[in-house]
Structure 1
Amino acid sequence: MTEVTFALVSGLTCFNGAVKMIHHYTHSETYYRLVDELNLLIDRQRPYCEGDAELTEALQTAYKKAKRLTWGVLLYMFVLGQMWCIVPLFMKFPPDDPSSPLPLVTITRVHKVHNHTLYSLAYLSECHTVLYWNWSSLGMDVFFGSIMIHVTGQLNILNIRLSRLSDEGVGDGLAQYSSFGKASELQKGDIHYSASMYDELCKCVKDHQEILRYLDFLESLMNPVPLAQFLLCVGGICLTLYQITFSEYVSFAAYSCRWGGAERKVTDVLRIIMSRAQRASLLTAGKVHPINRDTFLSLLNASYSFYTLLRQMKNLEEENEASS
């Protein structure tokens, strides 16, 4: 049962990568268009970043984050994949073992010594699967993550531009009023400031509409990929948890045996087994939380509670800024 479960989990993981690869190949032109439109979206606000330290920093921060994410994750998985492929070659196994270890799934009656040719083919096939899955599955995740980082950077630039709309104009109006004290000149300055502020605001609105349009395009392209990944990952977790639930039947199986009339030492051992089996065998995350449905629901509740706390703190900060 353990080998079957591990094989199914590995198969679902590889199938997830195959789904992403097929989606990319069947929508390759759309992916190219996605990248081209991202470049156009960045170019729309690039002129505002030239000569402005804060906007340039926001743009460069997005570039650096996307670069670190891409190279860091892919290099880490590439090194991990190499180790995954090399470790089975140095693993020690009993001489009478009918099978030899492989990178992903150990195939029954495929021995390194007795079936060297078949073992070599299986080993190369699984190594190719490990390395190719790294680029097809994880590479797709990093691709979408990098795009989201760039879009977030554009939203950050837009936020800075919007927050600056009242800085320069109000200062000019106050300076004119304190220097000349003429209502007519102040009114002219206000009219000129209102016109320039309106023009800049219209540009910000157009840029915001372009960002939203791009996000709609991104969502329409990528929504099958997270759906497949979510379903397959949940399927893998369910298979693992289903196997763990078999430990709960140990107590009932021990009680169902023919213990009537047995010696005291037999019944003592049966009580120990039943007592131990009543404690469910669980996988844990960092030796802290068990991986089960209750933990998943509590994690969702905690995430929403933390989100609500952050929103309340943000609203309180905005109210304090408005009152001051």
Structure 2
Amino acid sequence: MDEMTMVFISTFTNACGTAKMVFFMPNRRHYYALARHVEKLVSMQSEFCSADPVLADIWKGSQRRACRLTLGLLFLMFSQYPVWYPMPIIAQPEDRRLPFAQHGWDNNTNYYELSYVVQCALATFATQISNGVDLLFATVMILTAAQMQILTLRIASLKPEYTEVKVGKGPSVMAYQTENTCDDKMYEKLCQCIGNHQKILKYVR
């Protein structure tokens, strides 16, 4: 049961990594474009984030989440390799066991060291490819969702603007701008938000 479990785990992991590599390699430009377009979405609303601390916190928070997710999974996998790979040598050194699939036809007697290194290298390669592609999409979704949240707050904050008018030597009073000017500015900001929303939806599609 232990041997079959290890064979199944390694086969499934290597198959997933291979399948993702097959999709990734011919479409590398699309994946690169996916990352570059996230930068465009960010620059589209960067001026609003720099002017509003709340929006800036949303953006920085999404960056931190994406970074923690990526580094966390990376460190998790690299912390598992030193545990899994040398375990057959530590637990059963006299049996010459391999970390994953055993050679039943020769009881691991031929090319034992080479087989050991190949299994460890392939497992590392496959897991990093599989996790890397998954993390790319997860990071893109986190950053895109943050842009939608920023846009939502921008729309919610649309309101008539006030102008401060000084009357003689008395205190300042707040007065409305003319109705047409106020409506024009709100309409202009709303159109800008709608345009940003359409670009985000186009990117999501």
When Rg is computed on C-alpha atoms for both structures, the one with the higher figure is: 1
Matched ranges for 1:19-34 at <5 A: 19-34=19-34
Shift of 1:143: 1.2
Aligned partner of 1:172 in structure 2 is 162
For 2:103 and 2:126, the matched residues in 1 are separated by 20
Shift of 1:82: 2.7
Among 104, 115, 121, the alignment partner of 1:122 is: 115
For 1:118 and 1:9, the matched residues in 2 are separated by 23
- Ranked by relative contact order (alpha carbons within 8 Å, sequence separation 6 or more), the top structure is 2
Shift of 1:195: 1.1
TM-score by length of 2: 0.86
Given that 2:84 and 2:99 are in contact with CA atoms closer than 8 Å, whether structure 1 keeps it comes out as yes
Given that 2:85 and 2:99 are in contact with CA atoms closer than 8 Å, whether structure 1 keeps it comes out as yes
Given that 1:111 and 1:119 are in contact with CA atoms closer than 8 Å, whether structure 2 keeps it comes out as no
Question: Does 2:146 align with 1:150?
Answer: no
Q: Which amino acid in 2 is paired with 1:88?
A: P
For 1:82 and 1:205, the matched residues in 2 are separated by 51
Q: Unaligned regions of 5+ residues in structure 2, if any?
A: 166-172
> Structure 1's 110 and 137: CA in aligned 2 closer, same or farther, altered over 3 A?
farther
Between the two proteins, what is the percent identity of the paired residues? 27
For 1:11 and 1:139, the matched residues in 2 are separated by 18
Query: Cα deviation per residue 1:153-175 (whole Å; 9 max; x = unaligned)?
Result: 11111011011012xx1x639x9
Aligned partner of 1:136 in structure 2 is 129
Aligned partner of 1:56 in structure 2 is 56
Q: Which amino acid in 1 is paired with 2:190?
A: L
**RMSD, aligned CA:** 2.4
For 2:42 and 2:105, the matched residues in 1 are separated by 57
For 2:154 and 2:65, the matched residues in 1 are separated by 21
Given that 1:63 and 1:150 are in contact with CA atoms closer than 8 Å, whether structure 2 keeps it comes out as yes
Question: Does 2:10 align with 1:10?
Answer: yes
Given that 2:14 and 2:122 are in contact with CA atoms closer than 8 Å, whether structure 1 keeps it comes out as yes
Q: Unaligned regions of 5+ residues in structure 1, if any?
A: 217-324
For 1:156 and 1:211, the matched residues in 2 are separated by 11
Shift of 1:106: 2.3
Query: Cα deviation per residue 1:146-203 (whole Å; 9 max; x = unaligned)?
Result: 111110111111011011012xx1x639x9xxx69xxxx96x6222221111111111
Q: Give the 3-state SS of the residue equivalent to 1:50 in structure 2.
A: helix
Question: Does 2:105 align with 1:106?
Answer: no
Question: Does 2:198 align with 1:209?
Answer: yes
What is the count of residue pairs matched by the alignment?
197
For 1:102 and 1:165, the matched residues in 2 are separated by 64
